[in-house]
Amino acid sequence: MSKTTMTARMRVGILAVGTAVLVGIGSCSVPVPEFTPPPQDAEVYPVLDEERLDEVLAEVNETLTKADEESDRDELSPRIDGRAKQMRGWEYALAKAMKKADADEPYTPQPLSTDPAVYVIAATEEWPRNVMVITDPPDEGNAPMLLTLVQETPRDQYTLRGWVRLAPGVTTPQVNAAVTGSKQVSDDADGLILSPEQTIEAYAEWLNKGKKAKHAKKFAKDQYKEIIDSELKGLKESLDVAGKVTQTTKPAGSVTAIETFDGGVIVFGGLRSQQVYEKTVDDAKMRVGTMVAAKNGGDANVDTKLTAVYDHMIAFYVPPEDSEEKISLLGAERVLSSVKEPEE
């Protein structure tokens, strides 16, 4: 029996085996969602079936493989677009900059997988139409991935718009079976702890202000924020003899959301962080790290000011407003996108 003709019950059984295998890999294993049986009468149908989505993913993988081989952003079209195309292009540019700078450790774009383990398919009659896929880990990695794909209009193809690596130990929410589909949710949807758009905005504020952020208590602790906070703290401590380092994060790009079985949502969005290095001691030397230096034409010295721009893709589970749970990070991805003079 082929993968695309399996029943939901059979797929759950296979995924259970897959989860057991992942446990042997290490801390990056991720429990996959369970499926619920479809209702007897469905008024709104899923936008794709598994067979057609498999075809889309195969075409995405073919396009991605060719673009990766040539490290050519232009080759990502037409199957990879929007923020996904931007992020992959920035990865190619960073890899080339590191090679040109003859860095000790080369940079390699994040390995991606389009091999589906779980389908999260919207049921809607509107456009744009969204689908999400939890994949098996890529060959060079040990963390499953969450992909989001969008069809803008009836005449457009589905295109990959983003991906994240699922965080170690994360529990993914339950979703409806692909044959049923899940409700597509608007950016400003109510009935949730925060709307999808508010979630991305609030997380950015939490990164900026920590405990002082308005909605800080609505988020569960996560390793991604801890890594970013620790990195910034280390930079400040190591460079305080020459100047200061500040960081500001804002939402960037579009937001997509699909409802989970419990009335919550999976939210996918983007962020942009500006990390500003400012030299304030005249006779001191301020030097940036290898990646930032490579993107700065190989120059590690900061004469006055320098800004490193990091772009993120990020996904959350947002519970319904009557839940006692907190908003939890599902996964994230970040790349150094540019180095430039600070924006005034």
pLDDT in tens, the chain (344 residues): 434 333 333 333 323 323 322 222 233 445 555 555 544 444 789 999 999 999 999 999 999 999 999 999 999 999 999 999 999 999 999 999 999 998 888 999 999 999 999 999 999 999 999 999 999 999 888 899 999 999 999 999 999 999 999 999 898 899 999 889 999 999 999 999 999 999 999 999 999 999 999 999 999 999 999 999 999 999 999 999 999 999 999 999 999 999 999 999 999 999 999 999 999 998 899 999 999 999 999 999 999 999 999 999 999 999 999 999 999 999 999 999 999 875 55
Euclidean distance between CA atoms 138 and 144, whole angstroms = 7
Cα of 182 vs its chain's centroid, Å: 20
Helix (H, G, I), strand (E, B) or coil at 135: strand
pLDDT value of residue 142: 82
Other Cβ atoms within 10 Å of 123 Cβ, number = 20
In the chain, domain spans: 3-340
* Phi-psi sector, 71: left (phi>0), alpha (psi -120 to 50), beta: left
pTM: 0.86
* DSSP assigned state of 7: -
Q: How many other CB atoms are found less than 10 A from the CB of residue 19?
A: 15
State how beta strands 182-185 and 116-123 pair.
parallel
Q: What is the pLDDT of residue 133?
A: 97
Q: What is the pLDDT of residue 28?
A: 45
The tally of CA atoms less than 13 A away on the side-chain side of residue 130 is 23
Q: What is the largest CA-CA distance in the chain?
A: 75
Q: Give the residue among 94, 147, 206, 194 at the shortest CA–CA distance from 333.
A: 147
Cβ count within 10 A of residue 332 = 23
> Minimal CA–CA distance to 275: which of 235, 309, 312?
309
Which pLDDT belongs to residue 93? 98
pLDDT value for 278: 96
Strand segments, DSSP code E, in the chain are: 35-36, 116-123, 129-135, 145-151, 159-166, 175-176, 182-185, 243-251, 256-259, 265-279, 305-318, 328-340
> What's the confidence (pLDDT) of residue 2?
39
